[in-house]
């Protein structure tokens, strides 16, 4: 309102001199005020303000007095077009056009009625179109802001889902390895103390690795640097990729799962984000094998190129050794019956989400001759 009041005051002062209001009778000053003062409320009640100014203009026409303050009608029409629906703007424009014709009929010079009416109509049309354009631009800016807020919420949800997947993979994998190592240390603590001590060292190393991965994942989500030098060093370390599959296999072998890793192709051509996805896929598959078939043998095959990556994890089990099947969700197709306890399927669901981010496919299910296979194909050319 202060800005609109300032506009009304400026228009009032600008039209005092040309209209000879100060040198005329006192009621001219009152009429001048009635034409301009309502503009102070133009954005609060556009239609009411236009009606009030129009009523003052009608009194002016009846008194046969010309005042430059009639420009307030254009400002009021602009405000209606900019802030009210188009139906209101159309009715206001028609009412103002009627006033234009009446004013031209009374005050136009002899023989100049068409030109006067056309000039006044052009000014009214300009005010109307400018207001409509302003409203359109305002709606466009509002839609952009809403779209930005939607994208921000979507980015937060995606980041939260990413952190959930990472936490699931990190915690499940490292806890499974630590539990297997702890069981092994407990079993051989009397017969082979040196092996028990080595297992405990592996447990400590696995725990430190888990903490480091968790700090890296959480700090990436927060976007905040740590204050201590050790934390900064951890953040500067690259995320695990294909090169870390070897150490991962060593940890799995230390936990009791015979693991073999074969990598083919130019791994340097694979982006870091895709390498992290491949690492997490293999990690989750090996973790499930360790949990549900600890005495199996796991074979990992990774073939990569600049456009495509194929990851296959196969575990071969001894039929004489009982083992739980992998937990499956409702969307996973399985050939053959399943038995044993079932999990919530979150691991496979997480793998499917990671693969879907690269427009790939995931096939997880039991093998005909026994065992389990996970096959993931990633399209590295166009990540989504």
Tens of pLDDT, residue by residue over 293-321, are 767 889 999 999 888 899 999 988 655 55
Residues 22 and 29: beta-carbon distance below 8 Å: yes
Residues 260 and 229: beta-carbon distance below 8 Å: no
CB atoms within 10 A of CB 199: 25
Whether this model's pTM surpasses 0.85: no
| CATH topology for the 146-221 domain | 1.20.5
Closest CA to 70 of 53, 52, 91: 53
CATH of 242-319+345-379, one of 1.10.3810.10, 3.30.565.10, 1.10.287.3510, 3.40.50.2300: 3.30.565.10
Alpha-carbon distance 99 to 93, whole Å?
10
Confidence of residue 344 (pLDDT cuts 50, 70, 90): very low
161-201 residue pLDDT tens? 777 777 777 777 777 778 878 887 887 888 888 878 888 88
Alpha-carbon distance 346 to 171, whole Å?
13
Alpha-carbon distance 10 to 16, whole Å?
10
- Over its C-alpha atoms, the chain yields an Rg (Å, rounded) of 39
CB atoms within 10 A of CB 22: 10
74 has a pLDDT exceeding 70: yes
DSSP 110-129: TT-HHHHHHHHHHHHHHHHH
Residues 288 and 323: beta-carbon distance below 8 Å: no
Q: How far is CA 227 from CA 214, 230, 233, 238, in A?
A: 17, 9, 11, 19
Confidence of residue 343 (pLDDT cuts 50, 70, 90): very low
Residue 340 is predicted with a pLDDT of 34
251 has a pLDDT exceeding 80: yes
122 has a pLDDT exceeding 90: yes
Average pLDDT, the chain: 80
Where in the chain are the domains? 1-107, 146-221, 242-319+345-379
């Amino acid at each position: 309102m202060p800005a609109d009041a300032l506009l009304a005051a400026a228009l009032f002062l600008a039209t005092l001199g040309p209209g000879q209001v100060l040198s005329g009778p006192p009621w001219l000053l009152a009429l001048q005020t009635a034409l301009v003062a309502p503009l102070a409320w133009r954005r609060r009640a556009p239609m009411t303000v236009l009606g009030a100014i129009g009523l003052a203009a009608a009194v002016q026409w009846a008194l046969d007095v010309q005042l430059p303050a009639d420009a307030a009608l254009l400002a009021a029409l602009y405000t209606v077009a900019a802030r009210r629906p188009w139906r209101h703007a159309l009715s206001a424009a028609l009412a103002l056009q009627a006033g234009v014709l009446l004013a031209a009929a009374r005050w136009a010079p002899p023989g100049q009625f068409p030109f006067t009416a056309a000039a006044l109509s052009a000014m009214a049309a300009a005010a109307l179109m400018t207001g409509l354009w302003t409203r359109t631009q305002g709606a466009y800016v509002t839609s952009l802001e809403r779209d930005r807020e939607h994208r921000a919420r979507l980015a937060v949800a995606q980041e939260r889902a990413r952190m959930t997947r990472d936490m699931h993979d990190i915690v499940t994998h490292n806890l499974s390895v630590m539990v297997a190592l702890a069981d092994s240390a407990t079993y051989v603590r009397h017969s082979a103390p040196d092996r028990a001590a080595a297992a405990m060292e592996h447990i400590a190393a696995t725990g430190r690795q888990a903490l480091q991965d968790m700090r890296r994942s959480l700090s990436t989500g927060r976007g905040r640097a740590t204050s201590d030098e050790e934390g900064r060093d951890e953040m500067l370390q690259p995320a695990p990729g294909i090169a870390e599959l070897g150490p991962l296999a060593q940890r799995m072998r230390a936990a009791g799962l015979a693991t073999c890793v074969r990598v083919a192709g130019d791994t340097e051509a694979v982006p870091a984000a895709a390498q992290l996805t491949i690492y997490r896929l293999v990690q989750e598959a090996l973790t499930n094998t360790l949990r549900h078939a600890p005495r199996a043998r796991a074979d990992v095959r990774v073939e990569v190129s600049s456009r495509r990556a194929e990851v296959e994890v196969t575990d071969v089990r001894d039929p004489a050794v009982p083992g739980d099947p992998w937990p499956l969700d409702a969307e996973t197709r399985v050939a053959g019956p399943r038995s044993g306890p079932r999990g919530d399927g979150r691991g496979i669901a997480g793998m499917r989400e990671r693969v879907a981010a690269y427009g790939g496919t995931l096939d997880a299910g039991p093998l005909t001759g026994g065992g389990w296979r996970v096959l993931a194909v990633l399209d590295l050319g166009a990540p989504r």
